[in-house]
């Protein structure tokens, strides 16, 4: 069946429908990872977005449900150059085609993803529509595309109730703003007892449980939309509990302490982004997925925090260390999945902050 990807600037790509045939409007973004498409589809940070995979052949190792990063996929749509319809992998239990159909996610294959990526790089991230309607009307569609916003998607992806992963080590409160499973797993593997809290949990409730450390997770959308959460994070900041924050959590901590964020032209999404640790000078290859970035200058001028990591490619902020506080935050994903595990040592740093044992020393 024919399918069309229509961008808000009027570009139209013609391809083949994969997955659901329903029509969807979403923000169109691209991911440069060569593998890890299931982890990408099930990363809650992609809620409100349709993902274009820049690698040309997707699906050759099928679907293994054990690799999901959350309970379901959150992408609005999936865009590929070529879909491998016959996967070859001893772990595979499903195909992308069936996986998309099962979860009612529309997709399109057979388009020039290089051309699409170049448009998004040159003009910036924009909204688009995936449709199988051959009689589409651009004059009617384009105003709808320009009016689309992702809205408050954190409330959509967060857990509904508190969950505990048992452990014999430090007690960690994990704020679920759209947390990938491997964040909790990385802490639990180090012996932590991890309690996962819904995004809107009051700070008082978290502190009442007396955690040894607090983790602020990744998540989707514009951080400035999370006004209620930002107020609660300010209260957590004012406590003496060690805090480690990733991605959206990093942005929210900056906003809670008087900093600012802004939307990037097309964001960082992939598993090959070099980040430099400003303390050691060492460069790590990182997994990233974000469209907003922290303006570090305001926090540094106020003496609240100093930059801890920068992106080697474009110089944007990738992490902050908070002055006089046991708090550090990073924009990238040390838990990877997908992506390199170069920066997983940051979980060991967090363990030491809480008085626990360094994983590497065991």
Q: Which of 232, 268, 335, 337 is catalytic?
A: 335
- Check the annotation: does 289 bind a ligand: yes
- Check the annotation: does 187 bind a ligand: no
Task: Report the candidate in 181, 18, 162 with the shortest Cα–Cα distance to residue 101.
Answer: 18
End-to-end, the C-alpha distance of the chain in Å comes to: 55
pLDDT of residue 358: 54
Q: Which of 8, 247, 250, 268 is catalytic?
A: 247
Which residues in the chain show pLDDT less than 50?
360-362
pLDDT of residue 281: 97
Active site residue 205: no
- Check the annotation: does 291 bind a ligand: yes
- Check the annotation: does 45 bind a ligand: yes
Active site residue 335: yes
Domain positions in the chain: 2-147, 154-361
Architecture of domain 2-147: 3-Layer(bba) Sandwich (3.50)
Dump pLDDT digits (tens) for 28-51: 999 999 999 999 999 999 999 999
The 10 Å Cβ neighbour count of residue 182 is 20
Residue pointed to by tokens 């930059």: 307
pLDDT of residue 85: 86
Pick the CATH number of 154-361 from 3.40.50.300, 3.50.40.10, 3.90.480.10, 3.40.50.880: 3.40.50.880
Task: Report the candidate in 52, 27, 36 with the shortest Cα–Cα distance to residue 292.
Answer: 27
State whether the Cα torsion 89-339-104-177 is positive or negative.
positive
* 8 Å CB contact between 291 and 47: no
- Check the annotation: does 292 bind a ligand: yes
Question: Residues 6 or more apart from 88 whose CB is under 8 A from it?
Answer: 60, 61, 62
Q: Which of 192, 290, 333, 337 is catalytic?
A: 333
Provide the whole-model pTM: 0.95
- φ and ψ at 95, to 5 degrees? -110, 160
Mark residue 59 as left, alpha or beta (left: phi above 0; alpha: psi -120 to 50; beta: remaining): left
Nearest 5°: the CA angle 171, 175, 177 is 160
Dump pLDDT digits (tens) for 259-272: 999 999 999 999 99
In angstroms, rounded to a whole number, what is the distance separating the alpha carbons of residues 335 and 186?
7
* 8 Å CB contact between 70 and 44: yes
Active site residue 52: no
pLDDT of residue 301: 94
């Amino acid at each position: 069946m024919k399918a069309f990807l229509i961008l808000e600037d009027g570009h139209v790509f013609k391809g083949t429908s994969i997955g659901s045939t329903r029509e969807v409007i979403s923000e169109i973004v691209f991911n440069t990872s060569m593998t890890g498409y299931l982890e990408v589809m099930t990363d809650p940070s992609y809620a409100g977005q349709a993902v274009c995979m820049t690698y040309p052949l997707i699906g050759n190792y099928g679907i293994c449900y054990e690799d999901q990063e959350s309970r379901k996929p959150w992408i609005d749509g999936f865009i590929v150059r070529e879909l491998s319809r016959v996967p070859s992998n001893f772990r595979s239990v499903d195909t992308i085609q069936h996986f998309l159909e099962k979860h009612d996610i529309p997709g399109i294959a057979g388009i020039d993803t290089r051309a699409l990526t170049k448009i998004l790089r040159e003009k910036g991230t924009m909204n688009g529509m995936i449709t199988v309607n051959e009689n589409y009307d651009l004059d009617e569609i384009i105003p709808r595309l320009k009016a689309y916003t992702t809205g408050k998607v954190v409330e959509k992806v967060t857990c509904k109730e508190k969950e505990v992963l048992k452990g014999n080590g430090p007690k960690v409160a994990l704020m679920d703003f759209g947390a990938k499973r491997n964040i909790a797993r990385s802490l639990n593997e180090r012996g932590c007892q991890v309690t996962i809290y819904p995004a809107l949990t009051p700070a008082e409730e978290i502190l009442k449980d007396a955690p040894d450390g607090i983790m602020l997770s990744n998540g989707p959308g514009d951080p400035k939309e999370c006004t209620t959460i930002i107020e609660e994070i300010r209260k957590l900041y004012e406590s003496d509990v060690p805090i480690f924050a990733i991605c959206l959590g990093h942005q929210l901590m900056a906003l809670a302490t008087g900093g600012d964020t802004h939307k990037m032209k097309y964001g960082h999404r992939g598993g090959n982004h070099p980040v430099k640790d400003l303390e050691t000078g060492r460069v790590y290859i990182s997994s990233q997925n974000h469209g907003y970035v922290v303006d570090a200058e305001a926090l540094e001028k106020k003496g609240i925090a100093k930059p801890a990591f920068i992106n080697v490619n474009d110089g944007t902020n990738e992490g902050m260390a908070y002055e006089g506080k046991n708090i550090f935050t990073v924009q990238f994903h040390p838990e990877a999945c997908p992506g390199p595990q170069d920066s997983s040592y940051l979980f060991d740093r967090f363990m030491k902050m809480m008085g626990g044992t360094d994983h590497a020393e065991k």
